[in-house]
Amino acid sequence: MSAFIQQLPALIGVVIGALGSYLAIVRGDRARFRREQTARWEERRLAVYADYARSLKKSVTLTYRVASHLGNDPHPHPLSPEEAEPLLAEATLARDPSGEALILLGSPEVVERARTWVVGVMEMEQFLREGTRDPRAWQALLERQRAGREGYYAAVRNDLALPPGHSARLPLQPVHHT
């Protein structure tokens, strides 16, 4: 018995060491799991954010083309309202699922900025449905839409802790052929 008692502190030390190692491994695994889970959700949010932007940009491009047909925009590929109608309807329908995913996974700030952007796009669509021919009014709508887009991208970058990006406001320079 005395040999057992003499070895008991070493045995307790081994048990405590094994328990400590086990706890350290479990804690490390949990931390790694949380990091990986956070990274997966950030990837999913980025995909949802990008998908929403693509779906909205499709509508924006179509409005530019119709506005060009009506004489409001210099877009080089005009599209008549009649030709655009089914394309705009399709783009609007495609926006709905990406908007729902955005509401589900997006931060409140991103969702609010997305709402501001889409309202600007909807105003552009309404302007064109009415057949308005007013380049100045169209320019004001464009500016509001562009500000909405900038706000959306800034909120996305903030939510995902991305560095600041480009404003995408580039003056278009005419191409001069010599």
At 88-125, the pLDDT tens digits run 999 999 999 999 999 999 999 999 999 999 999 999 99
Q: Spell out the residues 6+ positions from residue 121 whose beta carbon is closer than 8 angstroms to its own.
A: 56, 59, 60, 63, 145, 148
Alpha-carbon distance of 1 to 15, in angstroms, equals: 20
The confidence band for 63, taking pLDDT boundaries of 50, 70 and 90, is very high
Position 33 pLDDT exceeds 90: no
Position 174 pLDDT exceeds 80: no
Q: Which of 37, 91, 123 is nearest to 99 (CA)?
A: 91
Position 42 pLDDT exceeds 80: yes
* Side-chain half-sphere CA neighbours of 143 within 13 A: 6
Mean pLDDT of 2-9: 81
Contact 70, 131 (CB under 8 A): yes
